Amino acid sequence: MILIIYSGNEFQQYISQCLSKHCFLHDAVSNFRSAASLLKVQHYSLIIVESHRCAKCLQRIKSLVDSNPESWVVAVESDVTTFSDKSESVDETNYYEAGVDDYLSGAFDERMFSARIRSHMRRSMPNLENSRDADGYNERIEIGPLQVDQRYHSVTINGQLLTLTAREFTLLNYFCRHPNQVFSRNQLLSEVWGYNHEGYEHTVNTHINRLRTKLDKVNSIENGGQLVQTVWGVGYKLNINGYTAKALSA
């Protein structure tokens, strides 16, 4: 189920028509207060929210992300610019730093939009093949200090539960299933985000930094953020071997 939060009625209708055309069930509201009422009684796998590139809008979307960690959030830039204060210097990167999983800007491309929505929905609603042990896929794995439980969409580190957004969970889950393997930003975009689009590599950087910050705040492990290592000129990896060796020698 998808929730649309969009004040521009004409564009909201356009998005709704696009979702209906591709057989996505959805609700639509025009403000955050109405959205909060629905979110109290209904879980939405995906939330599509309007972006005005202003500080007030950014804060509202950050609160939305923080309050709904199990939902994937896509911000769509509004055509309406009267609400934006360019002096506030709020840009696309700020929204990724606030925790959104995707940001769509520029002219609306229905084909690209529907492809991205399908990608998000595939990852937020895993099929039956992902719920059983097949081709080496386990619902629960332990790797180094990390324990990932696919059933409950949870990650613990040395027994301490991590509070992750849907995207952060999927990213860390992917690393844990491929420990010590190096992935380029484009590979992560393809495997975790579900698309490979030139110019979106900074999205990976932002989510890696957010994930490291949360790992660093875990009390039960020192410098947890170092588990996710930058391999200069290549990409990133979950450095289980290197981190374990360092911990043992400490």
| 86-90: average pLDDT | 61
**What was the pLDDT predicted at 133?**
43
Contact 86, 78 (CB under 8 A): no
Q: Which range (14-23, 79-88, 101-110, 113-122) has the least confidence?
A: 79-88
Q: Would you tell me the crossing angle of helices 166-176 and 110-124 to the nearest 10 degrees?
A: 70
Structure tokens at 10: 């004409």
| 121-145: average pLDDT | 60
Residue 222 CA, distance from chain mean position: 25
Report the alpha-carbon distance of residue 93 to residue 18 in Å, rounded: 26
What is the SS3 assignment for 44?
coil
State the architecture of 136-249 in CATH terms.
Orthogonal Bundle (1.10)
Q: Which range (40-44, 64-68, 137-141, 202-206) has the least confidence?
A: 137-141
Distances from the Cα of 121 to the Cα of 50, 63, 215, 217, angstroms: 19, 22, 26, 30
| 135-163: average pLDDT | 80
**What was the pLDDT predicted at 208?**
92
Report the alpha-carbon distance of residue 53 to residue 94 in Å, rounded: 9
Contact 239, 180 (CB under 8 A): yes
CATH code reported for the domain at 2-124: 3.40.50.2300
Structure tokens at 110: 């229905």
CATH 3.40.50.2300 residue window(s) in the chain:
2-124
| 82-104: average pLDDT | 74
**pLDDT level of residue 236 (50, 70, 90 thresholds):** very high
More confident residue, 25 or 234: 234
pLDDT, tens digit (0-9, with 9 covering 90-100), for 21-77: 887 878 888 888 888 888 887 788 889 998 887 888 889 999 999 888 888 898 888
Structure tokens at 49: 């929210």
- Residue 133, phi then psi, degrees to nearest 5: -75, 105
**pLDDT level of residue 94 (50, 70, 90 thresholds):** confident
**pLDDT level of residue 238 (50, 70, 90 thresholds):** very high
Local structure of residue 230 (DSSP, 8 states) = E
Report the alpha-carbon distance of residue 108 to residue 129 in Å, rounded: 33
Is the model's pTM score more than 0.75? Answer: no
CATH 1.10.10.10 residue window(s) in the chain:
136-249
pLDDT, tens digit (0-9, with 9 covering 90-100), for 179-200: 888 998 888 888 887 766 555 6
Closest CA to 209 of 77, 128, 97, 70: 97
